Amino acid sequence: MPANIVVPEVGESIVDARIAKWLRKEGDTVSAGDPLVELETDKIDLEVGAPQSGVLSRIDRQDGEDVKVGEVLGIIEEAAGGTADVARETDVAGDADVAGDMDVAQPEAPPAPGPARAAAAPAPAAPAAQVSPARSATPAEAVRPRATPAARKAAEQNAVDLSRVPGTGDAGRVMRRDVEKAAGAQTPAPRASSPAAVPRPAPPVPEASARQGERTEERVRMSKRRATIARRLVEAQSTAAMLSTFNEVDMSAVMALRERHKGPFKERHGIGLGIASFFVTASVGALRAFPRLNAEIQGDEMVLKHYYDIGVAVGASEGLVVPVLRDADTLSFAAIEGQIRDFARRAEDGSLSLADLKGGTFTITNGGVFGSLLSTPILNPPQVGILGLHKIQERPVALNGQVQIRPMMYVALTYDHRIVDGAEAVQFLVRLKDLVQDPGALLLE
């Protein structure tokens, strides 16, 4: 019987998607679970797999179209005399994880050109007794390597054969970092020089001619995520009474503590000791003292939250994402640093899940990693507070009647003035400053 290919339900907050790319074309033979089409949503990107084996007989919605959850994208018909498909499915039974119904990942491109698709067609079915589940029984390229879309795009750009790249992701999935490593290991064979092959130098272009060239423009459609970020930023400014307050933190004590303990910390936990863990822990302490910054507005009520799920803004090539540290008040410095580094890696290779991004009671964003000295962060609704960190810079400061050079950082707190008073916001930053400048006090938190 025919089977519909539909836009799956990803999460209750996602109601539509955009078709990024069809991975198969009409008339292709597919097996159940083979990835067919890439979809973009405002939070994650994913692949939709074939609901059954057969032939992709019809594609109803094309690349670039916006679709709703549950909408039909195309139809798969059972293959005529479906024994070939049954044999092919049996051949890859040991590789059932090659392509699931849905892979959460960043957008990617198809594998680098290989043998013609006709070479990948399944062979006529063998008698049941001769069918082997071994992968070697599968015709060349019949099974699409399990890889993230970002990895496939990198493979195409670097002319890397995905089937030869060992994967380090979950269940052996090939990640972009694996492709980049493989591309770096490739050494092209030297080519013999030939007088005929030596290019003739182009005549010099007069300076005046270079200035007379066309001034080109490029029109690029925003991705679903970028469009959603733009919409939410405008909504935040139009629905919340946002106001920012500032302070500066002397980072001397934190820098000295890190210098003393960075070696043993890395040896014990396998990760570096950054500043994020200090500010996450200090934020929790300040939120305990001023709970309305850990709340949200629902109608005419304030919902005060007595748990601390701290969102950490992470920049990725497809746009900013805010994965969440759950129950941050219970996490050690090592756990905080490890999770943040894992978020950054998965944000870039496209393996963050929707669960990683849901919720959050307060957000921290660090523009200092890009060199920002001072900025006013925008709220992440429905949260009512966001802390902005900035570049650590040595500046002269007056201490006990003397001028000293200290590593200083400006911090900014943007808050929703509808439920947070200015005095609370200022005192929140003062409390946070005190905790960071006296790292020993963090132990009491």
Mean pLDDT, all residues of the chain: 81
The share of the chain scoring above pLDDT 70, in percent, equals: 78
Instruction: For residue 317, report the phi and psi dihedrals to the nearest 5 degrees.
Output: -60, -30
The 3-state DSSP class for residue 287 equals: helix
- Residue partners of 63: CB distance under 8 A and separation at least 6: 19, 20, 21, 22
- What pLDDT band is residue 127 in, cutting at 50, 70 and 90? very low
Instruction: For residue 399, report the phi and psi dihedrals to the nearest 5 degrees.
Output: -135, 120
H runs (alpha helix) in 20-128: 83-91
- What pLDDT band is residue 180 in, cutting at 50, 70 and 90? confident
Q: Mind listing the pLDDT tens digit for each residue in 350-383?
A: 788 888 988 899 999 999 999 999 999 999 999 9
Q: Give, in order, the Cα–Cα distances in Å from 138 to each of 116, 161, 384.
A: 16, 17, 55
Per-residue pLDDT for 225 more than 50?
Answer: yes
Residue 278: HSE in the Cβ half-sphere, 13 Å Cα cutoff: 24
- Per-residue tokens: 33: 């679970």
H runs (alpha helix) in 126-275: 149-158, 176-185, 207-211, 224-239, 252-269
| Contact yes or no for 57/1 (Cβ under 8 A) | no
Of 65, 76, 148, 136, which is closest to residue 111 (Cα–Cα)?
148
- What pLDDT band is residue 423 in, cutting at 50, 70 and 90? very high
Q: Give, in order, the Cα–Cα distances in Å from 206 to each of 209, 210, 212.
A: 5, 7, 10
Weakest mean pLDDT among 65-79, 143-157, 286-300, 388-402: 143-157
Residue 294: the pLDDT is 98
Q: Mind listing the pLDDT tens digit for each residue in 141-178?
A: 445 677 777 778 788 888 888 888 888 876 677 887 88
Q: Is 2.40.50.100 the CATH number for 3-142?
A: yes
Residue 441: the pLDDT is 87
CA separation for the pair 386, 374 (Å, rounded): 14
- Residue partners of 91: CB distance under 8 A and separation at least 6: 131, 132, 133, 134, 135, 137, 138, 142
Weakest mean pLDDT among 3-7, 64-68, 93-97, 275-279: 93-97
Question: In 229-263, which positions are buried (b, 16+ CB within 10 angstroms) versus exposed (e)?
Answer: beeeeeebeeebebeebeebbbbebbeeebeeeee
Matching CATH number, 238-444, of 3.30.470.10, 3.90.550.10, 3.40.50.670, 3.30.559.10: 3.30.559.10
- Annotated domain spans of the chain: 3-142, 238-444
Residue 201: the pLDDT is 59
Q: Mind listing the pLDDT tens digit for each residue in 61-74?
A: 888 888 888 889 99
> Which residues belong to the active site?
417, 421
Q: Per the confidence metrics, is the pTM higher than 0.85?
A: no
Pairing assessment for the beta strands 16-22 and 66-68 based on DSSP bridges = antiparallel
Instruction: Calculate ∠ Cα 178-180-182, nearest 5°.
Output: 70
**Stretch 97-109: mean pLDDT:** 40
